[in-house]
């Protein structure tokens, strides 16, 4: 139940977050535009939004896998549902942290 509404909420957030994707690929065309994007992405608020976006993306992707399993008619048992919900949450937090550790090692801490 809780994971179901989280799937919807993360999808809602990801929807508006695609503006960042549009900004990023368009900013890459010129140095000034890219510097503006990087100063946003490197700021505390930028990092906070991107961290939240990463988690929403991974959580929604794992939640989507759960729905695809359900679409096949499997995973509806009480213990299976509990396990899938836990795996969804723990998996999303773990993968998000791993991605950010890798990412921060690549660029260093916030400027």
Burial class of residue 58, CB neighbours in 10 A (0-12, 13-18, 19+): buried
CB of 31 to another protein, least distance (A): 5
32 CB-near residues (< 8 Å, 6+ apart): none
CB of 82 to another protein, least distance (A): 23
Task: Write out the residues near another protein by the rule CB under 8 A.
Answer: 8, 11-12, 14-15, 18-19, 21-22, 25-26, 28-31, 34-35, 57, 61, 64-65, 67-68, 71, 99, 102-103, 106-108
């Amino acid at each position: 139940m809780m994971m179901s509404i989280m799937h919807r909420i993360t999808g809602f957030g990801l929807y508006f977050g695609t503006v960042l994707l549009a900004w990023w690929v368009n900013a890459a065309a010129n140095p000034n535009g890219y510097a503006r994007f990087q100063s946003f992405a490197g700021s505390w608020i930028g990092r906070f939004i991107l961290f939240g976006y990463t988690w929403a993306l991974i959580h929604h992707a794992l939640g989507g896998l759960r729905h695809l399993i359900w679409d096949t008619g499997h995973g509806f048992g009480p213990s299976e549902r509990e396990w899938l919900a836990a795996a969804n949450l723990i998996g999303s937090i773990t993968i998000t942290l791993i991605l950010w550790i890798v990412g921060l090692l690549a660029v260093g801490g916030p400027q």
